[in-house]
């Protein structure tokens, strides 16, 4: 079971991105009682992107050069920051990739999916995701386009580790329709959690949330690991 005590926090270095501005949080949590891969347990790399309200949205609402530059800069900085956290785990703390589970929420699913697609992490949890920036602004968009921000729908299929997708059925930010195609594009999809009645930021208030995470981390990942031995 997941340790209910306060998790161990690993300090991470500042990158060249938004981390210096403290516009979102990157947390590295040590879940000491989760023996999934190896005796040391599994680390949970959480990327919860909470860009300030004054920041412009992801989707290209305005087709102006300044808007495009802003979106490109935002995406680049977020990727740089999660990669800095990942590098700190590997080099500063000597943690192996297979002992790290990546967790991304909302806009943070963009960098999280990108990292999971190019690493050999233990698993990835995608919470309240978006298929792409274009998909948020134009819900009828079925594919990504050149310069589309956070093309999760393209990168998700490249993740080779188990993927758990969590989404509130009443999500008012990233519509529930974003979660379904991401699930369908997974190489190793686990049973998703669709939370009836939940919105974008209150999924954690439902009992099924922790139950599903516990099951995923303490049972399913352990089973997947044993099958791979």
Q: Is 153 left (phi over 0), alpha (psi -120 to 50) or beta?
A: alpha
Active site residue 106: yes
Active site residue 200: yes
Pick the catalytic residue: 50, 70, 200, 202? 200
Which residue(s) pair with 38 in the sheet? none
Pick the catalytic residue: 81, 148, 171, 175? 171
* H or E, element range at 125: strand 123-127
Find, among 150, 187, 197, 161, the residue nearest to 37 by Cα: 161
Burial 52-84 (b: 16+ CB within 10 A, else e): eeeeebbbbeeeeeeeeebbeebbebbbebbbb
- Other Cβ atoms less than 10 A from the Cβ of 201: the count is 15
CA dihedral defined by 24, 127, 172, 78, rounded to 10 degrees? 30
Pick the catalytic residue: 15, 106, 112, 121? 106
Block residue for tokens 């939370």: 195
Phi, psi of 45 (to 5 degrees): -90, 105
Catalytically active residues, by annotation: 106, 171, 200
């Amino acid at each position: 079971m997941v340790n209910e005590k306060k998790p161990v926090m690993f300090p991470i270095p500042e990158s060249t991105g938004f981390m210096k501005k403290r516009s979102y949080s990157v947390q590295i949590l040590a879940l000491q009682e989760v023996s999934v891969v190896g005796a040391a347990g599994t680390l949970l790399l959480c990327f919860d992107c909470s860009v300030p309200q004054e920041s412009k949205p992801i989707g290209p609402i305005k087709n102006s050069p300044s808007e495009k530059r802003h979106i490109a800069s935002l995406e680049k900085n977020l990727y740089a920051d999660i990669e800095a956290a990942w590098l700190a785990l590997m080099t500063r703390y000597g943690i192996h990739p297979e002992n790290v589970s990546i967790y991304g929420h909302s806009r943070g699913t963009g960098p999280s999916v990108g990292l999971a697609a190019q690493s050999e992490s233990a698993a990835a949890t995608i919470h309240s995701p978006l298929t792409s920036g274009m998909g948020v602004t134009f819900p009828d968009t079925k594919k990504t386009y050149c310069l589309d921000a956070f093309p999760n729908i393209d990168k998700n299929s490249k993740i080779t580790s188990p993927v758990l997708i969590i989404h509130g059925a009443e999500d008012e930010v990233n519509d529930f329709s974003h979660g379904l195609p991401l699930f369908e594009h997974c190489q190793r999809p686990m049973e998703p959690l669709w939370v009836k009645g939940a919105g974008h930021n209150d999924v954690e208030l439902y009992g099924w949330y922790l139950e599903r995470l516990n099951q995923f981390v303490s049972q399913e990942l352990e089973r997947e690991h044993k099958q791979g031995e």
